[in-house]
Amino acid sequence: DAGVIQSPRHEVTEMGQEVTLRCKPISGHDYLFWYRQTMMRGLELLIYFNNNVPIDDSGMPEDRFSAKMPNASFSTLKIQPSEPRDSAVYFCASSFGQGWPGELFFGEGSRLTVL
Amino acid sequence: AQKVTQAQTEISVVEKEDVTLDCVYETRDTTYYLFWYKQPPSGELVFLIRRNSFDEQNEISGRYSWNFQKSTSSFNFTITASQVVDSAVYFCALSEASYSNASKIIFGSGTRLSIQP
């Protein structure tokens, strides 16, 4: 079975540009998470979904960030406009929760560099 | 509010030594879950273990063992006879099991473990 698939693996863009990160969770998983990893702040939970519905977006840094999950097999994290401080590795993870925190399966991450 | 503290930023040991990674957590809930994840140099995070707050039995899996002590709010991880392949960043994580947020998992800052040959 395929794991969590993220694209692109690497993205270099200029400040002000729109960035879209994509994630395909493991089939059958009902939770999807977006995390951001930086040296300064470690692993931060940005937002998570349950059955395609956003449950907690309190970690989204500001209005420039938005996330959607139009169906059970696809999610996007969009940054518009991007800024250099958004440079980080963005991880998508999925799990089968059954109402309790299940094991998170992480993708390989999308490394974003904003110049 | 939930919080996970991994005070050890970096640890370096020589191969075959035992090493313990510390994790201290804070939560107001009586029901919660604790996790350890490994992030090897390749970057992908890998699940190692999950424990719930009602199960304080220590866990052993091969060279890995975990010591959960509610009295000190700690969930420490020990690698016995360390190997170079154990070199990675290790994260401790916590999830409070309130119904509305049962799957919100918060990570500590991680401990970078280097095993020298």
Residue pLDDT, tens place only, B54-90: 888 888 899 999 999 999 999 999 999 999 999 999 9
Exposed, middle or buried: residue A58 (CB in 10 Å: 0-12, 13-18, 19+)?
Answer: exposed
pLDDT of residue B29: 86
CB-nearest to B103 from A31, A42, A107 is: A31
**Which of residues 29 through 58 in chain A touch B, CB cutoff 8 A?**
31, 33, 35, 42-43, 45, 48, 50, 55-56
Q: Please tell me whether residue B101 adopts helix, strand or coil conformation.
A: helix
pLDDT of residue B52: 87
For residue A103, what pLDDT band results from cuts at 50, 70 and 90?
confident
Q: Which residues contact B97 (CB under 8 A, 6 or more apart)?
A: A100, A101, B29, B31, B32, B33, B52, B53
- Interchain CB distance below 8 Å, A99 and B99: yes
* Count of Cβ atoms closer than 10 Å to residue A103 Cβ: 16
A2 close to B (CB below 8 A): no
B30 close to A (CB below 8 A): no
CA distance A19 to B68: 42
pLDDT at A8 over 70: yes
For chain A, state the CA radius of gyration: 13
**Which of residues 85 through 104 in chain A touch B, CB cutoff 8 A?**
89, 91, 93, 95, 97, 99-104
Q: What percentage of chain B reaches a pLDDT higher than 90?
A: 70
Task: Write down the mean pLDDT value for chain B.
Answer: 91
Residue with token string 């809930």: B29
pLDDT at A85 over 70: yes
For residue A45, what pLDDT band results from cuts at 50, 70 and 90?
very high
Q: Which residues contact A84 (CB under 8 A, 6 or more apart)?
A: A15, A114, A115
